[in-house]
Amino acid sequence: MNILKTSIAIIATVTTLSVQAQNKTVLAAFSLSYEYEAVAKYDAAMASLNNVYSASSYEINMRMGWLNYLAAKQKEAVTFYQKAIVLMPAATEPKWAIINAYTIQQNWIEIEKTYLAILKLDAKNATANYNLGLIYYYRKDYVSAKKHFDVALNLYPFGYNNMLMSAWTNYFLGNKNDATVLFNKTLLYSPKDKSALEGLSLIK
């Protein structure tokens, strides 16, 4: 029994030391990657992390996604962010990050899907609702745009963009009274706003 206990203790000690050594190696790799990033040596930064890369590490995948994004390697950035999303499905962080890469690619379909995924986790997120509203607005899907602009407007009733885009959306939906109110509120924020004044002139 004593021999067994001793063996278990030795194994536990060795395991602990191994984990500690591994953590130090990963920390050193991250630290080096930040040093390279600071001087825009993104490939070198990624190389330092490749030495300790683990597909099951959320943090490494996020960091690799960011570095590839900075290096203008959007396809690779998307791949790493997708891995991070799978590892942490309840997190909105990697979803916001992947939108940056999709935006550079002008991949509006995936951007839309990602905003919808964010809203499943955070239904009243003002930024996601507003940006999704913009996507629908420029598609001339004003009904869908209004749905999301309304959420953003209710959260930030005196937000310039929320008021103005809600005003135009209501205008195109034929809700002239609501549009008039919102254009006038926009002028309270920006008294000489050309877009708001144009909207009011069209209603008159």
- pLDDT tens-digit profile of 76-121? 999 999 999 999 999 999 999 999 999 999 999 999 999 999 999 9
Last residue of a domain, one of 69, 88, 107: 88
Per the domain annotation, does 68 fall within a domain?
yes
Say if residue 16's pLDDT is above 50: no
pLDDT above 70 as % of the chain? 89
CATH of the domain at 50: 1.25.40.10
**Three-state DSSP string of 146-166:** HHHHHHHHHHCCCCHHHHHHH
User: Tens digit of pLDDT for each residue in 31-44?
Assistant: 999 999 999 999 99
Residue 2 sits in the same domain as residue 71: yes
Say if residue 52's pLDDT is above 80: yes
Separation between Cα atoms, residue 116 and residue 141, nearest integer Å: 16
Residue 84 sits in the same domain as residue 155: no
Residue 150 sits in the same domain as residue 80: no
Confidence of residue 23 (pLDDT cuts 50, 70, 90): confident
Angle (CA) 20 43 37, round 5°: 70
Per the domain annotation, does 117 fall within a domain?
no
DSSP sequence for 25-94 = HHHHHHHHHHHHHHTT-HHHHHHHHHTT--TT-HHHHHHHHHHHHHTT-HHHHHHHHHHHHHH-TT-SHH
* Nearest one of 196, 201, 130, 203 to 172, comparing CA atoms: 203
Tell me which residue range forms the domain holding 180. Answer: 142-204
Per the domain annotation, does 99 fall within a domain?
no
Per the domain annotation, does 104 fall within a domain?
no
Per the domain annotation, does 137 fall within a domain?
no
Residue 79 sits in the same domain as residue 152: no
Residue 84 sits in the same domain as residue 146: no
Query: Which residues, including other chains, have CB under 8 Å from residue 167's CB and lie 6 or more apart?
Result: 178, 179, 182, 183, 185, 186, 196, 199
Six token digits for residue 73: 């390697």
Per the domain annotation, does 188 fall within a domain?
yes
Per the domain annotation, does 106 fall within a domain?
no
Domain count for the chain: 2
Last residue of a domain, one of 88, 113, 133: 88
CA dihedral of 12, 52, 88, 134, whole degrees rounded to 10 = 160
Residue 80 sits in the same domain as residue 157: no
**pTM (predicted TM-score):** 0.86
Residue with tokens 């990602």: 114
Last residue of a domain, one of 67, 88, 109: 88
Residue 77 sits in the same domain as residue 157: no
Per the domain annotation, does 184 fall within a domain?
yes
150 burial level (CB within 10 Å; 0-12, 13-18, 19+): middle
